[in-house]
Each structure stands twice: as C-alpha cells, then as structure tokens.
Amino acid sequence: MLKLLSSSPIHRLNPAAVPVLRPAAESASPLHRVINSLTAFSRSNRCLGGRVFFCSDSSDGSDHVVDAEVKSAEEIPSKSSAIVSTYPKPEDYLTVLALPLQHRPLFPGFYMPIFVKDPKVLAALQESRERQAPYAGAFLLKDEPDSDPNIVSSSDTEKNVYDLKGKDLFNRLHEVGTLAQISSIQGDQVILIGHRRLRITEMDKAYNKEDEVIKATSFEVISTLRDVLKTSSLWRDHVQTYSKHIGDFTYARLADFGAAISGANKLQCQQVLEELDVYKRLKLTLELVKKEIEISKIQESIAKAIEEKISGEQRRYLLNEQLKAIKKELGLETDDKTALTGKFRERIEPKREKCPAHVLQVIDEELTKLQLLEASSSEFSVTRNYLDWLTALPWGEYSDENFDVTRAQKILDEDHYGLTDVKERILEFIAVGKLRGTSQGKIICLSGPPGVGKTSIGRSIARALNRKFFRFSVGGLADVAEIKGHRRTYIGAMPGKMVQCLKNVGTANPLVLIDEIDKLGRGHAGDPASALLELLDPEQNANFLDHYLDVPIDLSKVKYLIIWEVLFVCTANVVEMIPNPLLDRMEVVAIAGYIADEKMHIARDYLEKTTREACGIKQEQVEVTDAALLALIENYCRESGVRNLQKHIEKIYRKIALQLVRQVETIDATIEQNKGEVDSDETGTTTIQKGNPVLIESSNPEHTDENSKEVDEVETNPPENQSQCVDNKSTDMEVTKEREEDKKIETKTIEKVLVDKSNLDDFVGKPVFHAERIYDQTPTGVVMGLAWTAMGGSTLYIETTLVEEGDGKGALHITGQLGDVMKESAQIAHTVARAILLEKEPENPFFANTKVHLHVPAGATPKDGPSAGCTMTTSLLSLALKKPVKKDLAMTGEVTLTGKILPIGGVKEKTIAARRSEVKTIIFPSANKRDFDELAPNVKEGLDVHFVDDYMQIFDLAFGDEKSHNTQN
C-alpha cells in the first residue's frame, strides 16, 4: 500500500506543500501481482504504455485507488542525456513521490528548483536517490475556486496550503503532471528535471506521425518559433539546452518546448501540459507562440518610436564628442575645462597688477574649483558664468579725463541753447576736478519738466569730460535685484545694472545717468529707493556689494586705490516725488524750461537742421519763416520743453517732402511726354534735369507764376556731355544738343516751398492753444494771476461778480474745480478783503450785504496751490470798490489773515507766462527777489517787477497812482 502523507509548506517560489507517496511493505496481494505483471509487460513491450495504480491511505482510514500513467518507452530517445541515467528506467519505478507545484508546471526537458522545508519529505527524497530511484511526480496545485488566476499572492496561497491535510491537499492537485528526475539535493533545495508527462487516470493518446495536418501545424509552430527565437538570445540558449539533454525534437516535444518558453500564464501552460492529443497540443502551443510574436511586434514598435525620438539628439551628441576627440588628438583644441580656464586666465592677466588682491583671490579659487567640477553638472555652469563676469569687468582701466573748461563750454553750447545756470554748474564741477586732478564723486540731479533736455545734458557732460556714457531708467523699477543683482544660486541669476554698466562701457570711470529717479516703484521684491542709497551715497558706495559678484566694488572717488570713479547724474520731473533720504544724497540743479526766444533759437539751430537732413531736403528747397516758428511755439508748443516742438517740425518737413516728390514726379512725367521737343520764346526759359530738381530764376519776371514767389538763382554744373547757352540780347535761345541727337529737354520751374504763419494750419492743423490774455483792460472784479503748470507756466484770471444784495446776505460762492488749498485761500482772501474795505471805506457795507461769486476759468482743469491769495483778494476789492485794477498787471503770492505775503515757487515759469501774455507789470513776494535775480537777462528784459511783503503795497500798486511804487526792479 502507498500512503499519502501531508507535508509542510515550501519556499514561496516553489510548491507550498509536498504530498508524499511512500511504498508499503511487500505483500502477495492481487494488486501487487498486477503491478508486477504490468511492469514485466512494459519491459518486454516498449511500444506500450503501462497503467499503474497508486494506493493511498486517507486520513479517515478508507482506501482510495488513483490511476497513474506513464508514457510508452518509445518516447525515450535511443541516446538519452547524460544527466538522466539509462538504467534503471523511469518506468521501472512506478512508486514515486508526488510533489505539488504552486506557480508553474514543470515541462519535460526543463529544470526547476524547489525548496522543501518538511524534513520527512527531504528524507524520503534522499532515500529515493540512495535507492537508485531518483524520480518524483510534479503536479501543479489548483487555485481556489474564487481566486483570479492572473493575480498571484504568495502569502495567501502559502497560508491556505498550511491548512491542507491529507485528502484535501491531494484533491487540489491537477490530474496531469510531470515525471521529474531528482538531479541534486543541497540543503532544502531540490533540483528537478522534467522527463515526461504523468497522468493519474489516462495514457497519452497515440498519433500518426505522417498525418498531413499534424505536419502542417508543426511546420507553422517551427516557423513561428524561428521568428520568436530571433528576438532573444536567451530563448536560443533554451533550444541548445533542450536538444542537449532531451535529444531530437518530436511533434510532442516541439509542442512542449513552445509552450514552455512562451509568456503564457500558468493555466494556459497547464492546459498544454494536460492535453494528451498531440495535434491539439500543437494547436494550443501555436496560439501561445503567435501571441509572443504579436507582443514582440508591439515591443519593437514602441522601441522604434522611442529610438527615433532620441536618436537625433544622441547622434548629434556623439558626433560632437567625436569631433572634440579628433581635434584634441590632433592638437587643434583642448577640452572644455582647459579651454575655459585658459580663456579666463588670459583675460585677467593684463589686469592682474591693477586688480584688487581680494578679487584675484576669488578668481583663483573659482578657477581651481572649475577644474574639479564635471562639465555636465549645474555647478559648473554657475562657476563658469561667475568667472566670466569677474574677469570681464574693467578692473583699474580708466578713460583719460579732459578738464578743459573752454572745450567743455564749447561742447555744451553746441548741444544746448540757453540753460546758462545749468552749464555754469557743470563748468564749476569740471574746474574743481581740474584743480584737484580728478573729478569729484558727486551726484547731480537734473530736475525739470519733460523735454527740456535733461538726458541729453548728461550725455553732453560725458562728452565734455571724455567719459563713457551709460544710461538706465529706474522708472517703475520695483525689484531690488535690478540694482543689487541676484544671488548666484538662482536660475538665470545676473548682476545688477551697475555691474552690467561697467562691463558694457569697458572703463572704471563712466558717467552713469539714472533716469526718471522720481518714478521709482515699490513691490514685493523690495524697495529700490533704499537700494539706491548704497549706490549713490559717497560714504557707502566705497564698498558697494553686488549680490551676484559678492565682492566689494569701490564706486567712490578715492585716490591711490583701485576704484570705480563713477560719476552719477540723475534726472527727475518732480523733486518732491524723490524719497527724502535719497534726495539728501543729491545736488539738485533745476531746469525750468525755455522761453519763446530760446525755443526760436533751438528750432533754428538744432531741430530744423536735424529734421531737414533726416528728411533728405536741401536748404534751398524750403523756407520756414520766423513768424511761422513763433506761431508754432505760441499756439501749438507752449510747454517748457522742446520735444513737442520737434514733433511738429518733423510733421511740417514730412509734408514738405511729400510736396517736393509730387512736383518732381509731375515734371518727370511731362518730360517723358514731350521728350525731343524744346520751347523757346522771347521771355527766356528755366531748365531742369529730369529726376534732379534745381531752382533757376526766370529771365523775365513778368512771366513768373503769379501764385509762386521769385526765388534766387541757383547755378548748376551740367555734365560734360550737356551744355546750355543763353543769349540775353537775342529773342532766340540756342540750345546745345545732347550727345543723343534729335532729343531735347523739357524746361520747367520747380517751386520753393514756403511755410508762413498764413499757411501753417495746412501743415500742423488747427492751433491747440489760444491767447491766454482775454482782456486788453481787465474789467471790475477781474485780476490776472500767474500759475505754475506742467506745461511750464500760464496766466490765470480770477473773476468775481455780484449775485444778490440785501441786509445780512453777505456770502462767498466758489467755482472752478479748485482744490482744498485754493478753497482755503479764497476764504482767507474774503476775510482780508473785508478788513481792508472796512479800513479804506468804513461806510461801505458791500461784503456784509452782498453774496459774491468767485470763479476761476477753465473749470474742467483741476487747480490747486498756495499762490492765488493775493489775486483773489484784489479781485474781491475791485468788485467792492467798483474800480478796475491797473492795466497790464499780473500778480502772484499767498496772503495771510494779517495781510502778510508769503513766498511762492516757479518764478521763472510765471515770468515766462507773463511775457507771453505781454504783461508789463508783475508783483512777486519779496522773498522771491533772489529767484528773480537769477533769471537770464533776456527773461527779465522789459518787465516792471515789484516785490512786496504786505498786501497794502499790492493795494497801492493795483488801485493807486501809477507813480507810487514801494519796490521795483
């Protein structure tokens, strides 16, 4: 009897439990005799398979008979493998151990290692080897009914196997397994070699080797396997190993081999193993290897797509590396790190004596670091860029300064007209530098309205000093890193504007223009105004530290040191918008703007000349009169600067260019039509060459076009092959023929374009501004004031009128879109006017019984400022006294409740506005006399200016005798 014994679990990669079939004691039972007879029959008849019976004892004591089958002896090749001993034969040992396999079945011809943990099972296997019966049956363990065959959880499976005992475990085995040779036992590891199928109930079915269908199927399997084997060298090794140990391929072995090397799951492989019909087995194997082909094709297409995607970059990279290697081998080029190091050393070597010691130390350390870094690392790029900036800066390299005051005066006069006070301050700066031998590290702030030439003045200063010029605007700047630089650890880090400036100009003493400093922004990235303090403060910029360079840079003017002798010039429109700590570091030079006379000179000497050359127009082709320019300045370009004036002049010359081109095209067309003809008469003619208009005065003024003015004669030098001869004594004109005979030149006259006040509208449109002076003689209750505006300055009328009268109805109504300051000024003026009227005319109850309306014209324009109090008081008194003020009088100043006159601003702008309105008498506060004295003589010329500190002085000037003056020019 054979007993089925339960066993302990095995390793996770192998069967979890091994049921053991052990031989019983010898007996003379009928079953034993049947087995012996079958064995003898199988030995004598090799062509037949033998049916054997394994008897097992169940746990409950009942006997169960299990059929086991072995293949016929013909399936064993005549020359067996050396591993499988030829004697004894496997069929001689019909009593073997049954070993369960958990993951995959064992196919004939393949190895499989398993781990057996049960010492009883190991002892039985070892005993079988010692008894020269080294065989066991390997059967795949069935899955649980509810489990998914595609999902394997080894821990759960092993746990279930632990609980199986006896009959329950035996029932979990598949019916078909493999007769396996026990090749070796090392510890708990057992190596099995599959030999043939083993079925519990049936024998292998016979098949006809000459069957055409089987042959065709086997050929298709072989063909498909050939394609599969091409994709992997591992599968080719399987073929060699299989043929070496098993022998030649048969149809059955071909099916086994194909199923074994396929990637099918365990149930599909078990299905092939259980199939005893060779033809059906071949069909199942063919399906599996066909799937392998499809999987290989999909894998190949994926690999090809990926390869195509990266092959271009890889090929380029490989070619570049090969090129580098070839150049290096030929000595044409060193590697990247050596070349970079050599470049940086070559760049810093000429500056080594002038470069500060601490900078040289940093450069040497970074060069050493560069050699140790891999070229592909991110730190390598950071270090390379850092060295590039450090070695590119102009350490100790200066441009030779020129302190020639006369030359500087000439340059400033060439570039700018007027601005005497600004030029004087610049010349003072240059003179001090000449005496000291070096320029001061001062910060000059040029303030003034737009278009007055602040930026161009900075460029002229650089040219006068022979310094390099660099400009950067900080308008709207809200990031401190733009000034102080970024930390090198950030991606895309760069130094600040100051370091970039030094690299761009290539000298250590440039003139840096910081434009629009009054428009600094402030955002989440810090306060740039505070960052500029270190840059502009002479006490701090000696050790200016850029975050990127991380080495101190001296931007001050220190002699005998390696320094950056940077001269800073700042520009601003409104000084009040500059933060006070920053403004404290600067020396403000105000540029008030230009008066009409200065604009005339600038237009003639600079703007018109530049625009004419830019448009390609010759001087003799156009004439712009002084009246036209003056009208352009007064009616179109009244602002303080000249930028808008330049735009209008460019507009005029563009239209002139269009007119000239149209005239030339008309003349060319006429010449083409009348080519070969010449006109001659008693009046004489004017000749012009085609396509090249020149002006020649007609010999008979009576025949000149009435709509065009006479023009000066312009002599021309015709080519050598053309000549013209005019005989004034004769009525006939002889014309020398050209080299081409029978061709004559059409004669025409081109008109010179004239721009005058009368036709200015045709070029620039309707006037933008109108005369600010509304009245020749201001009526009662109206007084002309002077105001400062962004346009430079203007006259401003204050009007008052009576609304209604009655006892106790005294009140003041204000209009004109006034700000809070001017509203307060109006209330103060009303109080002061009542006090003065009470003093001058005690019997006059005007303000007590009259509602007064005070208005400032141009109600759509917001107005505010502390300089209208005097004008408002005078307007109210004029209405109360019913007496107009003096003719051609304008005033400005703030009045207090006690009648004191306070100083105002914008003296130059207000003076220019008064001159523009042809005002002869101006009243200023006494505190502004110094400001007026600093004005240019041409601004003060022809004005009768009075300076007052008490309102009663204004009262006498406005309403008293014309000869009464307290102070005068």
In order of start, what are the domains of the chain with their CATH numbers?
Answer: 97-144+165-199 (2.30.130.40), 336-392 (no CATH), 405-590 (3.40.50.300), 598-667+748-770 (1.10.8.60), 782-959 (3.30.230.10)
Q: Three-state SS for 336? A: helix
Q: What per-residue confidence (pLDDT) applies to 48?
A: 27
Using alpha carbons, select from 872, 800, 873 the residue that is nearest to residue 840. 873
Cβ pair 680, 730 in contact under 8 A: no
Using the CB atoms, write b or e for 540-554: b if 16+ within 10 Å: ebbebebbbbeeebb
> What pLDDT, in 10s, does the model give residues 663-677?
888 888 887 877 655
Query: What does the DSSP assignment read for 462-481?
Result: HHHHT--EEEEE-TT---TH
Q: What per-residue confidence (pLDDT) applies to 535?
A: 81
Highest mean pLDDT among 431-435, 565-569, 869-873: 869-873
**156 band by pLDDT with thresholds 50, 70 and 90:** low
Average pLDDT over residues 636-641: 84
Average pLDDT over residues 853-866: 86
**What distance in Å separates the CA atoms of residue 19 and residue 205, rounded to the nearest whole number?**
28
**Phi, psi for 362 (deg, rounded to 5):** -65, -40
Lowest-confidence region among 92-101, 646-655, 801-810, 958-967: 958-967
The larger pLDDT score, comparing residue 18 to residue 620, is at 620
User: How many C-beta atoms surround the C-beta of residue 916 within 10 A?
Assistant: 21
Lowest-confidence region among 70-84, 107-121, 768-782, 864-878: 70-84
Q: What per-residue confidence (pLDDT) applies to 270?
A: 87
Residue 23 reports pLDDT greater than 80:
no
Using alpha carbons, select from 191, 165, 166, 192 the residue that is nearest to residue 177. 192
Q: What per-residue confidence (pLDDT) applies to 948?
A: 95
Q: What per-residue confidence (pLDDT) applies to 755?
A: 92
Q: What per-residue confidence (pLDDT) applies to 502?
A: 87
As annotated, the active-site residues are 867, 910
Structure-token pair, residue 591:
């540029």
Structure-token pair, residue 357:
């010691």
Using alpha carbons, select from 744, 875, 701, 737 the residue that is nearest to residue 800. 875
Residue 813 reports pLDDT greater than 90:
yes
Residues 6+ apart with CB under 8 A from 464: 402, 407, 408, 411, 412, 426, 430
Percent of the chain at pLDDT above 90?
A: 17
Residue 928 reports pLDDT greater than 50:
yes
Average pLDDT over residues 213-226: 84
- Residue list, annotated binding site: 448-455
- Residue list, annotated binding site for ATP: 448-455
User: What does each C-alpha distance from 800 to 675, 811, 827, 871, 876 come to in angstroms?
Assistant: 75, 12, 13, 11, 6
Q: What per-residue confidence (pLDDT) applies to 883?
A: 92
Residues 6+ apart with CB under 8 A from 405: 427, 430, 431, 434
Cis before 88? omega within 30: yes
> What pLDDT, in 10s, does the model give residues 703-730?
334 444 333 333 334 444 433 443 443 4
**Phi, psi for 586 (deg, rounded to 5):** -110, 160
User: What does each C-alpha distance from 178 to 190, 258, 834 come to in angstroms?
Assistant: 15, 16, 130
> What pLDDT, in 10s, does the model give residues 204-216?
667 777 788 888 8
Q: What per-residue confidence (pLDDT) applies to 145?
A: 66
**What distance in Å separates the CA atoms of residue 636 and residue 603, rounded to the nearest whole number?**
14
**245 band by pLDDT with thresholds 50, 70 and 90:** low
Q: Any idea what DSSP says for residue 331?
A: T
**What distance in Å separates the CA atoms of residue 374 and residue 329, rounded to the nearest whole number?**
21
Cβ pair 873, 829 in contact under 8 A: yes
Q: Any idea what DSSP says for residue 59?
A: T
Residue found by looking up tokens 């109206």 in the block: 782
Q: What per-residue confidence (pLDDT) applies to 102?
A: 81
Residue 160 reports pLDDT greater than 90:
no
Percent of the chain at pLDDT above 70?
A: 73
**What distance in Å separates the CA atoms of residue 931 and residue 903, rounded to the nearest whole number?**
10
Residue 113 reports pLDDT greater than 50:
yes
Residue 624 reports pLDDT greater than 60:
yes
Q: Any idea what DSSP says for residue 523?
A: B
> What pLDDT, in 10s, does the model give residues 372-397?
888 888 888 888 899 999 898 888 88
Give the mean pLDDT of the chain.
75
**246 band by pLDDT with thresholds 50, 70 and 90:** low
Residue 401 reports pLDDT greater than 60:
yes
Residue 681 reports pLDDT greater than 60:
no
Residue 109 reports pLDDT greater than 90:
no
Q: What per-residue confidence (pLDDT) applies to 378?
A: 85
Q: What per-residue confidence (pLDDT) applies to 327?
A: 76
User: What does each C-alpha distance from 635 to 375, 449, 768, 769 come to in angstroms?
Assistant: 68, 19, 6, 5
Q: What per-residue confidence (pLDDT) applies to 961?
A: 59
**What distance in Å separates the CA atoms of residue 571 and residue 580, rounded to the nearest whole number?**
15
Residue 554 reports pLDDT greater than 60:
yes
End-to-end Cα separation, the chain, in angstroms: 147
**261 band by pLDDT with thresholds 50, 70 and 90:** confident
Query: What does the DSSP assignment read for 710-762?
Result: ----------TT--B---TTSSS--B---SSTT-------PPPEEE-GGGTHH
The CB-based long-range contact list for 205-208 (8 Å cut-off, 24+ gap) reads: 205/276, 205/277, 205/278, 207/251, 207/277, 207/278, 207/279
The larger pLDDT score, comparing residue 30 to residue 611, is at 611
The larger pLDDT score, comparing residue 243 to residue 55, is at 243
Q: Three-state SS for 893? A: coil
Q: Three-state SS for 886? A: coil
Partners of residue 818 on adjacent β-strands: 863
Q: What per-residue confidence (pLDDT) applies to 419?
A: 81
The larger pLDDT score, comparing residue 823 to residue 634, is at 823
**What distance in Å separates the CA atoms of residue 634 and residue 626, rounded to the nearest whole number?**
12
Q: What per-residue confidence (pLDDT) applies to 593?
A: 75
Structure-token pair, residue 194:
């599959």
Cβ pair 588, 575 in contact under 8 A: yes
> What pLDDT, in 10s, does the model give residues 169-210?
677 888 888 989 888 888 888 999 998 888 765 456 677 777
**Phi, psi for 267 (deg, rounded to 5):** -70, -40
State which amino acid sits at residue 309. Answer: K
Q: What per-residue confidence (pLDDT) applies to 619?
A: 87
Average pLDDT over residues 250-260: 83
Q: What per-residue confidence (pLDDT) applies to 585?
A: 83
**What distance in Å separates the CA atoms of residue 548 and residue 530, rounded to the nearest whole number?**
18
> What pLDDT, in 10s, does the model give residues 321-353?
888 788 777 766 666 777 788 888 888 888 888
